[in-house]
Amino acid sequence: MEYRVEHDSLGEVKVPADHYWGAQTERSHENFQIGVGIETMPKEIIHAFGILKKAAALANHELKPEKMTDEKLEAISFAADKVIKGELNDEFPLVVWQTGSGTQSNMNTNEVIANVSNEHAGKKLCHPNDDINMSQSSNDTFPTAMHISAVIALEDKLIPAAKTLIATFKKLEKENEGIVKSGRTHLQDAVPISFSQEISGWRSSLERDIELVESALEPLRHLALGGTAVGTGLNAPKGFDKLVAEKVSELSGKKFVTAENKFHALTSKDEIVFAHGAVKAMAADMMKIANDVRWLASGPRVGLGEITIPANEPGSSIMPGKVNPTQCEQVTMVAVQIIGNDTAIGMAASQGNFELNVFMPVIAYNFQQSVRILSESILSFNEKCAVGIKANKDKMHHNLHNSLMLVTALNPYIGYENAAKTSHLAFEENISLKEACVKLGFLSAEEFDKVFHPEEMAQQ
């Protein structure tokens, strides 16, 4: 491999000649051999860095044109656009397990953009610190990248994925109107419910989750950029913070504003904690929905068997013909991972000391993983399971009319205690509720038929 010699404040460093990163990136690459090639800084964070670096250059150009010249702005914009588009993803090799401020990833971005800018200009035009990092610090750029990437991920990935599944549930509600089945609480038989009502619960849960995510988006729109090292804005021109937030908004197509208190913005990660809580809420609801579906599809002969779901692959290496609810299983595993990520994010956010939180890379990594896998999980569940859910009407009818909890309909006529006696006798002697009620003398057969209508019990 061929190398070129780069230097930083610690001296000279040999850097692979075929890459755009510089000395500080290479030092980090060598010093943190932890999860190399696997647990690298999320590309969502890198792309957000591209947005904020271009936005900073634009703001500096307006406020410090003698430093950020037209020539430099054009070259930096060219390079930053490549970062934003993901064309330089291979130039960002650093792992999550680095400095807790994310300084090395900030410098990785600065070095790559500087070298690409210089190549584009055909001369040594831009310096990583003096030009690409102008009016900034790692301490305000990394939390800014976290917020930008979080807003983009939630708005462009998670919310659309949830809406796709909601649309499927709405379709299933219409298809299954009028089908009444046994409800269940505590995994025990309960009073009747229509299948469309049950599905509406799934749909409404996701709709509420979207509302929670949307409410969590607003605090994320506040950016730390402009606070520089400790929140005072040292070395940033007056008005830089507001102007750069406007530029980020224009470049990303998302609404952002400057954080009112930069001392808070640098050290507290409460906005990310809150937003991830909304992500966790959706994951918890998806866990519930997936469990409902696999319970209802259990069988096919000795389970509940009230619905059928698509058979995507063989389910056993030893039992021929077995098909498992694998899409439900992937959803539940994803939910467990997100719940674990939430714990890590909460712990990391609690560790801010004085003017900085130094757990930001792991917070960013876990947040982006949660949004990414939940979005993809929902889309997979929708496409390979939910759209193919079919009601087993005969099994639902059989289970409904076999349920002892239908006795609840008799409460207004024979009272709770007599209804309980009827249910117990029916269970003990394995007879119908009608037979038990008549045998106990609470109602005649004709009176029973007049008041006992299971399907009507599901009406709201």
User: CB burial class (10 A; 0-12, 13-18, 19+) of residue 413?
Assistant: middle
Distant-in-sequence, close-in-space partners of 271: CB < 8 Å, separation ≥ 6? 147, 216, 219, 220, 222
| Per-residue pLDDT at 383 exceeds 70 | yes
pTM score above 0.85 = yes
Angle of helix 270-296 relative to helix 195-220, nearest 10 degrees, comes to: 170
| Per-residue pLDDT at 460 exceeds 70 | no
CATH number, domain containing residue 290: 1.20.200.10
CATH number, domain containing residue 449: 1.10.40.30
Known catalytic residues are 186, 316
Task: Identify the residue whose tokens are 């520089």.
Answer: 228
CATH number, domain containing residue 85: 1.10.275.10
Domain co-membership, 418 together with 359: no
Mean pLDDT value of segment 189-208: 97
Written as six digits, the tokens of 62 are 């307006």
The alpha-carbon radius of gyration of the chain (Å, integer) is: 30
Per the domain annotation, does 397 fall within a domain? no
pLDDT in tens, 83-110: 999 999 999 999 999 999 999 999 999 9
Q: What is the domain count for the chain?
A: 3
Q: Is 95 helix (H, G, I), strand (E, B) or coil?
A: strand
Q: Is 113 helix (H, G, I), strand (E, B) or coil?
A: helix
Domain co-membership, 43 together with 106: yes
pLDDT in tens, 327-380: 999 999 999 999 999 999 999 999 999 999 999 999 999 999 999 999 999 999
CA distance 118 to 230: 31
Domain co-membership, 366 together with 427: no
Domain co-membership, 200 together with 267: yes
Task: Identify the residue whose tokens are 């609470």.
Answer: 442
CB 81 within 8 A of CB 50: yes
Domain co-membership, 37 together with 121: yes
Domain co-membership, 212 together with 320: yes
Domain co-membership, 107 together with 213: no
Closest CA to 143 of 281, 258, 26: 258
Ramachandran angles phi, psi of 225, nearest 5° = -55, 130
CA distance 99 to 148: 20
Per the domain annotation, does 30 fall within a domain? yes
Peptide bond into 300 cis (omega under 30): yes
Domain co-membership, 162 together with 298: yes
Mean pLDDT value of segment 9-24: 93
Domain co-membership, 62 together with 157: no
Q: Which of 88, 117, 134 is the last residue of a domain?
A: 134
Per the domain annotation, does 439 fall within a domain? yes
**What is the pLDDT, as a whole number, of residue 300?**
86
Q: Taking all residues of the chain, what is their mean pLDDT, rounded to a whole number?
A: 96
**What is the pLDDT, as a whole number, of residue 419?**
97
Per the domain annotation, does 234 fall within a domain? yes
Written as six digits, the tokens of 328 are 């439900």
Q: Is 258 helix (H, G, I), strand (E, B) or coil?
A: strand
pLDDT in tens, 229-263: 999 999 999 999 999 999 999 999 999 999 999 99
Q: Which of 391, 412, 427 is the last residue of a domain?
A: 391
Residues paired with 193 in a beta bridge: 181
Per the domain annotation, does 154 fall within a domain? yes
CA distance 308 to 293: 9
Q: Which residue has the higher pLDDT, 460 or 411?
A: 411
Domain co-membership, 80 together with 62: yes
**What is the pLDDT, as a whole number, of residue 323?**
82
Q: Is 446 helix (H, G, I), strand (E, B) or coil?
A: helix
Angle of helix 138-153 relative to helix 360-384, nearest 10 degrees, comes to: 10
| Per-residue pLDDT at 321 exceeds 80 | no
Per the domain annotation, does 415 fall within a domain? yes
Domain that holds residue 454: 403-458
Domain co-membership, 130 together with 163: no
Domain co-membership, 316 together with 248: yes
One DSSP character per residue, 178-201 reads T-EEEEEETTEEEEEEEHHHHHHH
Q: How many C-alpha atoms does 211 have within 13 Å on its Cβ side?
A: 6
pLDDT in tens, 107-161: 999 999 999 999 999 999 999 999 999 999 999 999 999 999 999 999 999 999 9
Per the domain annotation, does 22 fall within a domain? yes
Per the domain annotation, does 306 fall within a domain? yes
pLDDT in tens, 266-303: 999 999 999 999 999 999 999 999 999 999 999 988 99
